[in-house]
Structure 1
Amino acid sequence: MKPQDIIAGKSSLWIFGYGSLVWKPDFKYKRSEVGYIRGYKRRFWHGDNFHRGNDESPGRVVTLIEDEDATTWGVAFEVSGSQLEDSLKYLTVRETVRGGYITKMVDFFPDGEDGSSVQALVYIATADNPLYLGPATSEEIGAQIAVCRGKTGHNLEYLLRLAEFMRSSCPQVEDHHLFAIETAALTVVSYLLAAQ
């Protein structure tokens, strides 16, 4: 799905973020809502050789894996007018060109609403992407995240900010995958600091 196809005939659009977009959208938007999408689980299965890692030592960032029983919490941003084209141009570079993500339209359910949903654009990295790393144990992923760094910063910062978002904005949600990796990464960092 190309950006020009997404915005054809639309005056506004919702964009769902479940990784770094939840704390750093870096585009102008009309409003934002915390909520969730169904049928996907968030996993640290995607490699990053630009923002949070490099070619020699790729970091790990989140993507979405289809799972009909799962929900993924995040933030949806409504963009309208000139924000529509500007945000998609920016995200095409950030997520598609550098990140290797494709786009899909999904149903987004705002938290605290009456159960109604809105269509939202989401970026997903698939298994056929060269940067895709796939599953690993929480300990392996945490150890990788603890030592990687890219042009945007430490991979650990990405992990900790995402965990903090979940605790502060979605305290009712227990994200086992995310929190297990956070524990593993912090264990490695503690060990490295103690060894200095």
Structure 2
Amino acid sequence: MAEPRRRLTQPHDPALRDGARMMADALDQWRTQGPRPDLWVFAYASLVWRPEFEAVEQRMARVHGHHRCLQMWSRVNRGTPERPGLVFTLLPGGSCSGLALRVPHEQVEALMPTLWAREMPNPVYDPKWLLCQTAQGPVRALAFTLSRRSPSFTGHLSPERYREIFMHSRGRYGTTLDYAQQTFEGLLQHGIHDRALERLLKLMT
């Protein structure tokens, strides 16, 4: 499998990032993967239970070198500027189980703006091509990751801070707590038991 072209470096401040350029770079990198390549997307949170596009194939997948965590500020979708909520991201280190979703080649260019509008309305994530291990063999998938240097990275949060956010943070798509619970249950439906997330949710019991 051909290695995608290295992505261009973007500043960490979302206000200085060019989201359209980042999408164009991702499409360029996808095109280098071979003749008429399909697109694989790594789903690790809401894309598991609410993908908003139809994948022609999904595989259980594991990524090494990144882990799922609830450590990204959300000031619109799951919180407000005054009372920020949280959303999941992939941070460097460890490993993560999720789904690899396949989009046929002929649908990719039409889908990408929709996917970008969903995941990158503010270009906070760092899109990366990660190697996903699946029972049917490895695939390289587009994943939305975060740098610890990003202003959207929360850093360490105490149990008390998580509890406060779960109790009070709500955005246009609902509460952080609902989002975390839906992700936990969505993962369980695919046989993925995220024990770190389970421990966070038990703070509310």
- In the superposition, the TM-score normalised over structure 1's length comes to 0.82
d(CA) in 1 for partners of 2:163 and 2:70?
A: 10
Q: Where do 1:16-165 residues align within 5 Å?
A: 16-67=42-93, 70-98=94-122, 100-110=124-134, 113=135, 116-165=137-186
d(CA) in 2 for partners of 1:41 and 1:166?
A: 14
- Secondary structure of 2:140 counterpart: strand
Identity %: 26
8 Å CA contact retained: 2:48, 2:187: no
d(CA) in 2 for partners of 1:158 and 1:99?
A: 20
Q: Which runs of 5+ in 1 are unaligned?
A: 188-196
8 Å CA contact retained: 2:41, 2:100: yes
In structure 1, the residue matched to 2:3 is none
Q: Deviations over 1:74-115 (max 9, x none)?
A: 1111011342123321222222233611111111122xx16x
Query: After TM superposition, which residue ranges in structure 1, 4 or more long, deviate above 6 angstroms?
Result: none
Partner letter of residue 105 of structure 1? W
8 Å CA contact retained: 1:138, 1:177: no
Q: Call closer, same or farther: CA 1:46–1:87 in 2, change over 3 Å.
A: same
d(CA) in 1 for partners of 2:123 and 2:164?
A: 21
Q: Deviations over 1:30-87 (max 9, x none)?
A: 22122211111211110011211111111111111211xx221111110113421233
In structure 1, the residue matched to 2:31 is 8
How much has 1:12 moved relative to structure 2? Answer: 0.6
- Secondary structure of 1:97 counterpart: coil
Q: Which runs of 5+ in 2 are unaligned?
A: 1-6, 8-24
- In the superposition, the TM-score normalised over structure 2's length comes to 0.79
How much has 1:158 moved relative to structure 2? Answer: 0.8
In structure 2, the residue matched to 1:183 is 202
d(CA) in 2 for partners of 1:99 and 1:52?
A: 17
Q: Call closer, same or farther: CA 1:145–1:85 in 2, change over 3 Å.
A: farther
